[in-house]
Amino acid sequence: MNSLPPVPQSDVIAAEQAHLAVQEGARLIDVREPAEFALGAVAGSENVPLAELEACLSSSPWSRDAAVLIICASGKRSLRAVSLLRRVGFEHVQSVEGGFAAWRAAGLPEDELALDVDSRERYSRQLILPEIGIEGQRRLKAARVLIVGAGGLGSPIALYLAAAGVGTLRIVDPDRVDRSNLHRQILHRDSHIGESKVASAERALRALNPAIDIEIVDAALDEGNANVLALGADVLVDGADNFAARHHLNQASVELGKPLVYGAVHRFEGQASVFWPGRPGIPAPCYRCLFPDPPPPELAPNCAVAGVLGVVPGIIGLVQATETLKLLLHLGETLCGRLLTFDARTMRFREIAIARDPECPACSENALRL
């Protein structure tokens, strides 16, 4: 039976010896994929996947004289990396025998910021996305989001942000759960009728993800508390059902420079956008650039008067949750400067460009000087 040729002893190093070498200044390269690296890594190691190693050497040449150690999951990929590095002139390069499995079994130091077992399992499907990985998950954990409204829009927003691991959700709503809410406000249950919406929301979110912090405010957002409630938040999310709350939340967004994720629904239709006049680089419009003044009540009846198809706030709320996650992760292109509209009857989304209003009563230069 054929057998593999023996590995030269100079190509491998035991985990304990590797640990000492790193303490003495050796460079430790982890050639696993980002998703593997996210689930646990050696303290101080650099993640360069094996498939990217050669390109990395070309774009950022390493010193051929430096001591370099390579680690992977079990010691196989790291040997291939050692062969590659030796071919291009590295003399002091070795593979950590047994890989990260051996390192962990020996109880050697791991990255202090590595995710715990619960997080590695809970978020595993988004951790494997290269655009998120462990750094993105840490960013989500450190984030704080203000959600105004625990109703039709706030329900899917809060549920998906909690499920994604956003570290702190602050939820503001003065209302109580009514039976008529239940066809669209999926945070709440029949047994919660009569309970404050924020208390009901807290119970549902803690059952979904006990690892995050929930702050509840059983009050209406108004001119007097908007800025206080928005302090410390990375993103403000509008799940309100009235123009007064939206104007006060927009003013907090303008004054504090925070992005505001907007959503609204009416019967079979909905719309969403991101307002951020304080955005670095290219400032975006604010809410009042689009809606400077509240329309008359007869032109903007609420759900209790006009009705709403229950799934519509779910769809718009999911768009808002998506935009919030993108903002927190610094990922992709947001709806800044664009209004996304949706009609459930035709299942069509449309997009309308929005420009800043130089005469805006909230974010124009004249308004900010007042």
Is pLDDT above 80 for 155?
Answer: yes
CA separation for the pair 137, 114 (Å, rounded): 10
- How do residues 243-258 score in pLDDT, each as one tens digit? 999 999 999 999 999 9
Most confident of 55-59, 123-127, 296-300: 123-127
Percent of the chain with pLDDT over 70: 95
CA-wise closest residue to 206 among 143, 253, 159, 249: 159
Using the Cα atoms of residue 93, residue 97, residue 99 and residue 103 in order, give the sign of their dihedral.
negative
pLDDT-derived band at 130 (thresholds 50, 70, 90) equals confident
pLDDT-derived band at 327 (thresholds 50, 70, 90) equals very high
pLDDT-derived band at 6 (thresholds 50, 70, 90) equals very low
Average pLDDT score over the chain:
91
Name the CATH superfamily for 9-114.
Rhodanese-like domain (3.40.250.10)
Give the pair of three-digit tokens for residue 131: 């655009």
pLDDT-derived band at 1 (thresholds 50, 70, 90) equals very low
Q: Please indicate whether the domains covering 9-114 and 127-369 agree at the CATH topology level.
A: no
Is pLDDT above 70 for 7?
Answer: no
Is pLDDT above 80 for 234?
Answer: yes
pLDDT-derived band at 300 (thresholds 50, 70, 90) equals low
Sorted by sequence, the CB contacts under 8 Å of residue 134 that are 6+ apart come out as 34, 37, 38, 41, 113, 114, 115, 127
- How do residues 156-213 score in pLDDT, each as one tens digit? 999 999 999 999 999 999 999 999 999 999 999 999 999 999 999 999 999 999 999 9
pLDDT value at residue 40: 79
From the number of C-beta atoms within 10 Å of its C-beta (0-12, 13-18, 19+), residue 187 rates as buried
The helix/strand/coil state of 291 is: coil
Q: Which residues pair with 271 in a beta bridge?
A: 264, 341
Cβ–Cβ < 8 Å for 284, 337:
yes
pLDDT-derived band at 65 (thresholds 50, 70, 90) equals confident
Q: Which residues pair with 274 in a beta bridge?
A: 261, 336
CA separation for the pair 145, 167 (Å, rounded): 8
Residue with more model confidence, 58 or 53: 53
b/e per residue 222-232 (b: at least 16 CB within 10 A): eeeebeebbee
How does strand 213-217 pair with strand 144-148? Answer: unpaired
CA-wise closest residue to 237 among 252, 259, 265: 259
How does strand 213-217 pair with strand 168-172? Answer: parallel
Class of 127-369 in CATH: alpha beta
pLDDT value at residue 308: 94
pLDDT value at residue 144: 97
Q: Where are the domains of the chain?
A: 9-114, 127-369
pLDDT value at residue 122: 92
Q: Which residues pair with 27 in a beta bridge?
A: 68
CA-wise closest residue to 173 among 204, 152, 193: 152
- Identify whether 360 is a catalytic site residue: no
pLDDT value at residue 298: 63
pLDDT value at residue 211: 94
Q: Which residues pair with 96 in a beta bridge?
A: 13
Mean pLDDT value across residues 62-84: 92
CA-wise closest residue to 274 among 292, 294, 250, 256: 250
Mean pLDDT value across residues 124-134: 86
Q: What angle do CA 199, 273, 318 make, to 5 degrees?
A: 50
pLDDT value at residue 94: 95
pLDDT value at residue 365: 85
CA-wise closest residue to 335 among 250, 270, 276: 276
User: What is the H or E stretch that residue 202 is in?
Assistant: helix 197-208
Query: Of 72, 289, 303, 336, which is the active-site residue?
Result: 303
- How do residues 18-52 score in pLDDT, each as one tens digit? 999 999 999 999 999 877 887 778 988 998 999 99
- Number of neighbouring beta carbons within 10 Å of residue 185: 26
DSSP 8-class letter at 73: S
pLDDT value at residue 293: 87
**Entry pTM:** 0.77
